[in-house]
Amino acid sequence: MEITVIHGQVHKGSTYHISSSLLKKLADEDTVVHEYFLPKDGPDFCVGCFNCIYQGENKCLGAVSVQEIVKSMCLSQAIIIDSPTYCFEMSGQLKTLFDHMGYMWMSHRPRREMFDKIGIAVTTASGAGTKNITKSIARQLFWWGVPKTYRLGINVSASSWKEVPEKIKRKIELKTGALASEVKGHIGKVKPGFKTKFLFNVMRKMHLSNTWNMLDKQHWSDNKWLESERPWR
| pLDDT level of residue 233 (50, 70, 90 thresholds) | confident
Q: 151 — phi, psi (to 5°)?
A: -125, 125
CA dihedral 10, 169, 128, 23 (to 10 degrees): 50
Contacts for 99 with CB less than 8 Å, ≥ 6 apart: 45, 46
The closest alpha carbon to 193, from 224, 136, 232, 156, belongs to 232
> Do residues 97 and 6 touch, judged by C-beta distance below 8 A?
yes
Distance CA(73)–CA(118), nearest Å, equals 10
| Amino acid present at 42 | G
Q: Give pLDDT tens digits for 204-215.
A: 999 999 999 999
Distance CA(192)–CA(110), nearest Å, equals 14
Q: Identify the three-state secondary structure at position 17.
A: helix
Domain segments of the chain: what residues?
2-192
Q: Give pLDDT tens digits for 41-100.
A: 999 999 999 999 999 999 999 999 999 999 999 999 999 999 999 999 999 999 999 999
Distance CA(151)–CA(134), nearest Å, equals 6
pLDDT at 114 over 80: yes
| pLDDT level of residue 127 (50, 70, 90 thresholds) | confident
Indicate the range of 117-126, 155-164, 172-181, 202-211 predicted with least confidence: 155-164
DSSP 142-189: HHHT-SEEEEEEEE-SSSSGGGS-HHHHHHHHHHHHHHHHHHHHHTTT
Whole-prediction pTM: 0.95
Distance CA(86)–CA(84), nearest Å, equals 6
Domain 2-192 matching CATH 3.40.50.2300: the answer reads no
Q: Identify the three-state secondary structure at position 20.
A: helix
Q: Which pLDDT belongs to residue 70? A: 98
| pLDDT level of residue 128 (50, 70, 90 thresholds) | confident
Q: Give pLDDT tens digits for 145-162.
A: 999 999 999 999 998 999
